[in-house]
Structure 1
Amino acid sequence: MELNDSPAREFDSYSTNEAILERLQLLDYEKEFVKLKDSFKPISRHYFVKSTNSGEQFFLFTNLAVWLMKKCGEQGLEYPQEFDDPNSTISKILAVLKAEDIPVDYSISAIKKGSGAGCLHILNELSSLAVRKNNLGFSRFEVVESDPNDENGDADENDVADPAEITAEQFDEDENESVVDEDVGEATQFDAAFDEGALLSINPNSEKPLDYLVANDAQVPQFRAEVERATPQLKITVRADAKDWRSHIEQMNKQLQAIKTNFNQAKPFLIETQKEITESTQRIEARERHINQQLSSLLGQYRTIQDRIAEKSEQYREASGGITMRTEQLQNLGEEVDQLKLQIEEQGAKNNDAAPLIRIKQAIQKLENQIVALSIQSSVLEQALFSRRIRSMNISNFSVDF
């Protein structure tokens, strides 16, 4: 099996989200980022792994990415608002990543979900870059070499540390051996005064290093005072998550107890109601059977009449189909008659119209006028030719006589 096909690959996103959260805590995002707006909130360990509220996740993802880019030196960027165009916001983020030579092989539609591999990749790269540019990181533990001249101090430290480790390891085994009853205010097996020096002198290599505590003769008030002094240092503050099912266990138990109580009170009424409903149903069924027996003959007649109506309806449907066909033919013939009427009317209007005759007469009149004008012009030309010929004849006769 290849590494990419391993079943454990689907859990890489969980480890990536945890690494991102560690880097954000290293950058102190709870004080610098979360307090910027009231809508910002600390993210959980696996907040960006799966889609729970895409709008809220995308808004928090884009603002967190811009905050990380500001940590990387991009101070000119502005935090995106809730109603900004998501495509332009993602394009700005991708442009900064491209300028930092960070490859992003995910589509914009995959990033717009606000969760998944694309968003985790971007936050992982930006958080790593921000940690490097701010010169932050996780350092290894340094082992302090012991000073041979300071043997007593080391012995005291070892004496203090070892019993604590032994007590933590054997706490579950010895839990029932020393019990403090908070209601009564009495302690069992602790009767003597608390001796811190005796506690520090416990030999961790002994077979039963807790025998001193079990057989301790500490008095109850002094022991209780010591417990009250140490209790605040042992408190662990766990931030409540409204989505965590553990925070609702008490409420669920109360609701369950209330349901049981109300059910016990309502159970007799429900049983009585069930009996009444059963009796009413039986009476209704008996009445229905009686009515069906009385109306059986009428129902037979009703079915016969329905069959006849169905036959008549079928005959009517067939007859109406023929009528419809003939009606369509009649409409077609009527349209053809209307077209013939229009043609006849147009032809009659053309025959009764005197406009063409008037135009013909006008054309004839124009031709006659033109003929008269041409005859006059021809007469003038003939006269001019005749007079020129006479002149030429006179000149020739004069020359001959001369």
Structure 2
Amino acid sequence: NLKPFHRFYFTIPAANPNEQFYHFTTLFSWLLTKNDGGQFDTPGQFDDPNATVANMVAKLKDLELGGGGGGGGGDAITNIPLNKLKQGHGDGVLAVLLALVDGALWKSGSFAGFQRALHKVDEYAEEAEVDEDAEVTAEGVEEEQEEEEEDGVVVVVGKRAKRGGDDEGVDDDRDEVYVGAGAGAGGAPAGGDARTKAEDAGPKKVDLTDWRLEVERVTPLLRVQIPNDNKDWRIHLISASLISTRTHLQKLHTEISTQLEKLSSREKYINTQFEQQTDQHRILKDTASELKQKHVAASASVTELTRALSGISEELDAVKATMDDIGSGMTDSKPLVGVKQGVVKLKAEVKQMDLRVGVIQHTLLHAKLKTKGPAANEAHNMMQVKMKEEQHTTELTQCK
């Protein structure tokens, strides 16, 4: 029930060392059962790691890995320090897991018929790694090296040279010119004259088009293909499982092809049986599309008519409001009542003014009579009679 590990999981320390050690012990227990090494109980959370590692080493000794065709180095595995196994990562853990995996493969028969490859120590110098995906361009070639061919002389300018004499072994940044002359008529290489010619040669004009064509021609030849290494155990494993896998895949291909043919024939049969219904469905679909278009057009016209109706309704409401205002103004008697009340008030004020005028006249006449004597008294009496008549007339008018 563990998640898959990446290939470098047990190489470096993990974020959780306890979890890494638990994974190591769990994987060790499972591989031990594959090697017929008996049961190994996976340690719990509170178990002593030292006791667990000691039990693991004891199981490895009992298993005797490295004998026969199993995983190699049994003595070296049992001699691994316990503290390295307790870390849960590192060379010791990788060696134990590698030995158990090899032993499990031999036990399962996956390596049947194969002999363990004997790797000889390579005494030659290691070659530099070559990037197969690197592109070679004209600019890059011009920067890396300069080659000139004149009269069979090839001049290669490098960047690594060593000083001679007392400064032997010290790198020099100065360019060193190596001259290799072409073979003469007798096959003998040219001597110092060729070197002198190469050193005295000036810059040569190179056609850019020819240079690019030459680079395109040489570029495929500069790619290095690493040959298959027969020492790799994966090649043997692939070769062993190729026949059974190919047979299984061919059988699977045949079954899939048969099922596809059946599906195709069944599809043709169904299409033939329901051809009439398909035609009817197509006709009904066309009719439905036409009706849908008509419905869309009718909906548009209904929308326009609805807008026109709403405008007419608004105009009708405005006319009704105007008519109501005019009708209420015609039937309302409030202005007439106000006019009548104003007339009554004016009449009352006129009467009061007449009364005041009479009183003033009477007072004025009384004053004149006092100043004129008996003649004035007669006139005063006549005035009083007249005033009484007027007052009586006014009272009668008010009563009416």
Which is higher, the Rg of structure 1 or of structure 2? 2
Given the two structures, how large is their TM-score scaled by the length of structure 2?
0.30
Higher relative contact order (CA closer than 8 Å, sequence separation 6+): 1
Q: Report the TM-score when normalising by structure 1.
A: 0.30
